[in-house]
Amino acid sequence: MMKVILEVKERHKPNLPIEAECITPKNFLDPERAFHVWKGNKELDISDVFHVRKDGNAKSAEQVEIIIRGNSANIKRVGEYMDGGKILIEGDIGMHCGNFMSAGLIEIKGNADSWLGREMNGGKIVCHGNAGDYAGSGYRGEKKGMLGGHIEIMGDAGDFAGETMAGGEIIIHGNAGDMPGVDIRDGRLTIMGDCSRPCGNMSGGECRIFGTAYDMLPTFRNEGLTSVESTPVTRFSGDYISRGLGTIYVANYKYME
Amino acid sequence: MKTLLVKNAYVIDPIQNISGEIMDIAVRDGKIVDDVKNPDDVIDAAGMLTLPGGIDSHTHICGTKVNFGRYMSPEDMRAGRTSRKGDMHATSGYSVPTTYGNSYRYSRMGYTTLLEGAMAPMEARHTHEEFRYTPLQDCLANTLFDGNWFALEAIENGDIKRLAGILAWYLSAAKGFGVKLTNPGGTEAWGFGEDVSCIHKPIPHFGITPREIIVKMIEANEMLNLPHSVHLHCNNLGKPGNYLCTLDTYNAIPDLNDKRQSLYSTHVQFHSYGGSSWNDFCSKAEDIAHSVNEKPQIVIDTGQVMFGKTTTMTADGPMEFNLYRLYHNKWSNHDVEMETGSGIIPVLYRKKNLVNAIMWSIGLELGLLVDDPWQCILATDNPNGAPFVKYPEVIALLMSKEYRDKEFETLHKSTGKRVALPAIERERTWDDIAVMTRAAQARALGLIDYGKGFLTEGAEADIAIYPISVDTTDPAREYERIINGFATTEYTIKRGDIVCRRGTCTLEGNHSTYWVKPHVPAAYDMSTDSEFIDGFNKYYSMRIANYPVGEEYIGRNVCMESEASL
């Protein structure tokens, strides 16, 4: 087992974002490797930003655990292309955490910023706080977002959670913002709390809302009552703007007045 | 007095009937001259194919619809990124790159002159602003007239001289170069919720047929004595069975100019389709090529399709709507008031898709079956058929039967039953390629008089030196060398300056924008015609005084004046 502890140093301007796509378990397997992060257009060594401590040895990425401590709310792209192992973030984390990850686990004790797990296709992300906008979505212009894997957000999520989602599962224990699951084509999106305008232009997949869906879109057809996990819900099919092949189960819904 | 000498070049210059001579080319102040003494710079081009700078006579690189293609496909921006290097700016984009991306990539392939295929006159400022930031090529812009209400009214009234006056006013107001008709009448009908089936049914509101629009526009264009002919995108683009409509159009074209063609028919690949639906879709390139062979008044460009991702953009709004219904992808539709429209969608041409494989074959068939290379221009209608960076591959396919057969093997299995390509033995020669990539363009666009497309005294010093040894390369076998050779020049020279060396662009070019200014008699001068001014101020959301593009929008401009015979 290898344990890598990255403690964020005191930063003069903590709001300046750092791009740290090098932080993935696999990269720490190579003892010779140099780690660079970017601050604006300046390339810095990882030791300029973090106190790095490495204990133990590992043969594969699965045996590596990275722990990030300190004020990491503006460290972006942590775990990009991660394909195994574990990253534990003890505080908040910046945007694009877990981009394109295919295996492994990222656990965030604090809040995650926008684009959590964007276009991921495997592995698991657990966020104990809130997540920003576009959790599990595709990036600008991309037709497919998350393709597989699992995102669990214990707090609230921002707007556009699971936009263009094409596989995998997102569970939001709190509320989601506006337009969750817009353009969703496959996979499952579960929202335990409330949201508004869910799943516009849905062309497949499933969305379950156990709170209230405000401003429910009129392009979904009410298919009657049913139950999901012993909760009484209404089933909607849609979006009939896009062939109507998706399903929403919603406990309560309100149309726009 | 800057001078340059290119020594020992292996020159092919079809306009001057030079085919493979070893020559020295002397340059003084951006022009080719007889001789220079003590040149400032000497290039030894021994063993290297030296051609006049490439000319793309139909590409979409600047303007509002190109820009819309950029921002509706942010994923395309991520597809082709290059970082800043020396004098070169950072670029991004693959099928619709940034202006610098276009300029550098064209320059790398030896292209020095570009014709933007479609510019809505009302949105001309944007095109010219982007031309300024396309620094290594001279730029020209075809101006759209397919749905221009004033022009359609003049045709309806049978007043061709007034039509010519209107064309003249719009061309010089928009600082455009040629008259472009895109699906004439069709985009206008689309504005009324209809479409045209071919060229014989009258369009709504005006009651004139597309055939009348095409023929009258050609007559008016010739009256203005413009360098270029009418540049036509035929009706019914992309519909199975449309080759009949294309043939019908070609049969209607008069021969009005003895110096060049009367009609430049563009991306003919998209207009050579047989069958009655996508199920029995097949190639009719032979019929079209046969028709072109009989009509010296027509020049075509092939509109070659190559496999991969790209973005289609055209003023033909209804056709893009049909494509959208096939792909269910992103779609943009745009109306330019009183003038034209446009549509944009991203597409992916796939080898295993039968329709796409047939489209690919049709372009090559046209490129091989048109007898006279001067009548058949190599273009992909960038980015509609493919991004222009595919040109070297297209050249190799035309030059090598072996390469064609190898590619054909990888296509959808049924392609062979629908196309004639495997039976065509012809392989284009070096001279043919030199014609199809620069000389035919220079003649078709009327640019020879302005020093483009050739390499003897008096020409603009636009020279492309490719690292290909013609004597020791067998194009039929060594097609990889053709692709690599045409992809990156050893030197690209623009107006006497070396702008690109082995793919690295070295400086901001000495580039110009070419535009036409036909002089018409006072009776047909629309800027003083009260009926025109009233109509303009009544129907446009813009005042006539604000409409013309000022010369301050154009960096170094070359005004091509002509005297109209009205």
Q: Per-residue pLDDT averaged across B99-123, rounded?
A: 96
Tell whether the model's pLDDT for residue B508 goes beyond 80: no
Quickly list H helices, chain A: 46-49
Nearest to B24 by CA among B43, B45, B8: B8
The pLDDT of residue B197: 86
Quote the pLDDT of residue B1: 67
Q: What is the 3-state secondary structure (H, E, C) of B341-375?
A: EEEEEEEEECCCCHHHHHHHHHHHHHHHHCCCHHH
Omega before residue A31 within 30° of 0, cis: no
CB < 8 Å from A in window 72-91 of B = 72-76
Task: State the complex-level ipTM.
Answer: 0.72
Whether the CB-CB separation of B145 and B169 falls below 8 Å is answered with no
Structure tokens at B341: 């429209």
Q: What is the pLDDT of residues B78-98, one digit of tens each?
A: 888 999 988 899 999 999 999
pLDDT digits (tens, 9 = 90+) for A33-52: 999 999 988 999 999 999 99
Residue B162 has pLDDT above 70, yes or no: yes
**CA–CA distance, B130 with B135 (Å, rounded to integer):** 10
Pick from A97, A128, A88, A81: nearest CA to A17: A97
Pairwise CB contact (< 8 Å): B73 & A142: no
**Residue B327 contacts A where some CB pair is shorter than 8 Å:** no
CB atoms under 10 Å from CB of B208, counted, come to: 19
The pLDDT confidence band at residue B325, using thresholds 50, 70 and 90, is: confident
What is the nearest CA distance from B129 to chain A, expressed in angstroms?
26
Q: What are phi and psi of B514, to 5 degrees?
A: -95, 135
Q: Which of A139, A141, A242 sits opposite B73 (nearest CB)?
A: A141
Q: Which chain A positions have a beta carbon within 8 Å of B76's beta carbon?
A: 141
Contacts of A143 in chain B (CB under 8 A): 329
pLDDT of B71 reads 87
The nearest CA of chain B is from the CA of A257 a distance in Å of 31
Give CA A98 to chain center in angstroms.
7
In the DSSP assignment, the letter for residue A27 is: G
Q: SS3 helix, strand, coil % of chain B, rounded to 5?
A: 40, 25, 40
Interface membership of B449 toward A (CB under 8 Å): no
Q: Which of A36, A50, A90, A47 is nearest to A67 (CA)?
A: A90
- Rounded Cα distance between B20 and B12, Å, is 5
Judge whether residue A230 has pLDDT over 90: yes
Segment A70-90 shows an average pLDDT of: 95
CA distance B146 to B152: 8
Whether the predicted pLDDT of B507 surpasses 80 = no
Residue B509 in this model has a pLDDT that exceeds 90: no
Would you place residue B327 in the very low, low, confident or very high pLDDT band (cuts 50, 70, 90)?
Answer: confident
CB contact under 8 A, A143 and B329: yes
| Helix, coil or strand: residue B488 | coil
Res B245 pLDDT > 80: yes
The reported pLDDT for the residue numbered A257 is: 83
Give the mean pLDDT of A9-30. Answer: 93
B195-236 residue pLDDT tens: 888 899 999 889 999 999 999 999 999 999 999 999 999 999
Average pLDDT over residues B511-527: 95
Cα gap B442→B452, rounded to integer Å: 6
A41 part of contact set with chain B, CB < 8 Å? no
Residue in the block written with tokens 């379950």: A208
Residue with tokens 């009448």: B185
Please state, rounded to an integer, the average pLDDT across all residues of chain B: 94
Strand order in the sheet with B332-336: B308-314, B340-349, B332-336
Please compute the mean of the pLDDT values over residues B252-275 and round it to a whole number: 95
| Exposed/middle/buried for residue B498 (C-beta within 10 Å: 0-12, 13-18, 19+) | middle
Average pLDDT over residues B508-535: 93
What confidence category does residue A68 fall into, taking pLDDT thresholds of 50, 70 and 90?
very high
- A208-222, B112-126, B319-333, B425-439, range with the lowest pLDDT: B319-333
- In this predicted structure, the answer to whether residue A9 has a pLDDT above a threshold of 70 is yes
Round to whole Å and give the CA distance between B344 and B64.
11
- In whole angstroms, give the CA distance from residue A65 to residue A80: 15
What confidence tens digit (pLDDT) does each residue in B129-158 have?
Answer: 999 999 999 999 999 999 999 999 999 999
Mean pLDDT of A80-91: 96
Please tell me which residue of chain B has the smallest CA distance to A142: B75
Burial of A53 from C-beta contacts in 10 A (0-12 / 13-18 / 19+): exposed
